Amino acid sequence: MNESKISVRYAKAIFAYALEKNILETVKTDIFLIYEVCQQETDFITLLESPVLKTSQKKKVVQKIFQDKINSGTLSFLNLVFVNKREAFLKNIARNFFRIYRIHKGIKQVVFTSSCEINDELRQNIRKLIKSEFSEKFELTEFVDESLIGGFVLRVEDQQYDASMLNKLDKLKRELIDLSFDKIYS
């Protein structure tokens, strides 16, 4: 089965469980913690993907890590993931859970990438601009990408506005190539 289908199926399952038990926000917090551990702890991912360790050993370690930190329903879900030997998909399951959660709550995902850290005043202005433009709930994620040289890239769902210097230089380069190409063949 396709990795994406597996992740989506499990994400839908935990989401449906959370809705049914009326613990959606609790489960969201739990899944966020699991996702953060997957993101920040490379040893954790190595453990999950290890072909050497038995699934039962992995399950014990993960239970010790999360047993006092997450809801018992979420912990039971983790056990199910391990019983079905799907632990390598845990990070993608979490990512898909958040996508489903945002759709359910009507939250747009906004990604702001700039060449350097932004200050609080600029962050508030960005939030006001997005709110006035889309008049919906949104979740703002910020990234720093020094390769942009300057400027920013703003992505809202599947729309993107690229005001980076890298993009402007790339456009200038293409125009110069087109001009030189036209001169050669005219």
Q: What is the DSSP string of 66-131?
A: HTTTS-HHHHHHHHHHHHTT-GGGHHHHHHHHHHHHHHHHTEEEEEEEESS---HHHHHHHHHHHH
**pLDDT, mean over the chain:** 87
CA distance 157 to 107: 10
The two tokens of residue 7 are 């992740």
20-64 per-position pLDDT tens digit: 999 999 999 999 999 999 989 889 889 888 889 898 898 999 889
Above 80 in pLDDT, residue 168? no
Domain boundaries, the chain: 3-103, 106-184
3.50.50.60, 1.10.10.10, 1.10.520.20, 3.20.20.140: CATH of 3-103: 1.10.520.20
- The verdict on pTM exceeding 0.75 is no
Mean pLDDT calculated for residue range 142-153: 84
60-88 per-position pLDDT tens digit: 998 898 988 999 999 999 999 999 999 98
The two tokens of residue 5 are 């289908």
Instruction: Supply the pLDDT for residue 91.
Output: 93
